């Protein structure tokens, strides 16, 4: 087993979290990637310091991952972790090479996520599908929150009662890199919040800190959020990937369908750049086809009789 201190993995994790201000999920993924890389180069090449790492070591480790069936996205994340790590290591020690900059990322096929149709959303949020009491109220409000605000699962778990300004109809969201954004709160969402508040107070659930709890003693975990969303989505729709992120995709796609511009959707989603938002345009291609068919002179010709 290599000496992990010689690679400064704990310091690297602190750097990602405290200085780069990356999300805990990204920090965990990068730290795991580096841990397995260090193990690999030690066992295969008997290398135990960052100064001795060569580009062939990186290529070999990534190739082994590809042979094991890892996706292009995962391999690109591993490469990103290595690039970030060696940039950090150069600040700590002299003579640390930068082999990761010599490698290109893999082409990743565009991922098309099927979103919910309007009738599926109505079915998903139908009050009759939820059991009476606090638990059913929580589940419905959780689903409504993901769809009405378009937020990430991690952002949902950090939401606090104090983040909501009912009079201004806004809610403050803490996003990636601890960046805050202010979102408009729909009236239907604020009504759902009040219903949820009453259910919490009746059941002895705290309304002084975070919004979502598993029980009176335990706040919700990412795994539990996924389980709740997955269960309801499977019974209300035919989406292949029944995950919380599907509701974020649905939020963005429905806004686009109703005429919202990409810049506005980008702000609502908290994307750092517009390219991340453009993935949602694929879902509206059928609507665009319809617009062209109706509006383009040649399209209208085909409708004349």
280 is catalytic: yes
3-state secondary structure of 238: coil
104 is catalytic: no
Q: Where are the alpha helices (DSSP H) in the chain?
A: 9-14, 24-45, 55-67, 72-92, 118-124, 134-149, 153-158, 187-203, 222-236, 244-257, 262-269, 274-277, 285-295, 297-301
Buried b (16+ CB within 10 A) or exposed e, 191-228: ebbeebbebbeeeebeeeebbbbeeeeeebeeebbeeb
245 is catalytic: yes
123, 176, 197, 230: the active-site residue? 176
* 8 Å CB contact between 253 and 115: yes
248 is catalytic: yes
152, 153, 249, 266: the active-site residue? 152
248, 249, 254, 266: the active-site residue? 248
Q: Which residues contact 174 (CB under 8 A, 6 or more apart)?
A: 155, 158, 180
Active site positions, annotated: 152, 176, 245, 248, 271, 280
């Amino acid at each position: 087993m290599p000496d992990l201190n010689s690679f400064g993995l704990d310091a690297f994790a602190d750097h990602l979290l405290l200085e780069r201000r990356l999300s805990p999920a990204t920090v965990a993924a990068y730290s795991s990637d580096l841990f397995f890389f260090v193990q690999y180069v030690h066992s295969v090449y008997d290398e135990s310091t960052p100064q001795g790492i060569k580009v062939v070591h990186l290529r070999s480790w990534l190739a082994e991952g590809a042979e094991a069936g890892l996706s292009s996205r995962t391999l690109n994340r591993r490469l990103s972790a290595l690039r970030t790590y060696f940039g950090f290591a150069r600040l700590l020690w002299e003579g640390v090479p930068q082999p990761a900059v010599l490698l290109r990322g893999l082409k990743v096929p565009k991922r098309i996520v099927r979103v919910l149709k309007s009738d599926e959303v109505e079915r998903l949020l139908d009050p009759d599908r939820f059991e009476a009491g606090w638990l059913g109220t929580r589940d419905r409000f959780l689903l409504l929150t993901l769809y009405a605000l378009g937020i990430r699962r991690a952002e949902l778990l950090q939401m606090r009662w104090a983040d909501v300004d009912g009079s201004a109809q806004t809610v403050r969201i803490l996003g990636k890199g601890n960046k805050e954004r202010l979102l408009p709160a729909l009236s239907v969402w604020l009504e759902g919040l009040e219903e949820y508040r009453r259910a919490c107070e009746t059941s002895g659930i705290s309304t002084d800190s975070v919004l979502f709890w598993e029980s009176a003693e335990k706040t919700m975990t990412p795994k539990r959020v996924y389980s709740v969303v997955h269960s309801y989505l499977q019974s209300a729709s035919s989406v292949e990937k029944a995950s919380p992120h599907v509701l974020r995709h649905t939020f963005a796609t429905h806004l686009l369908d109703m005429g919202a511009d990409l810049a506005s959707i980008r702000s609502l989603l908290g994307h750092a750049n517009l390219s991340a938002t453009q993935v949602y345009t694929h879902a509206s291609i059928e609507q665009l086809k319809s617009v062209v068919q109706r509006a383009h002179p040649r399209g209208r010709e085909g409708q004349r009789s």
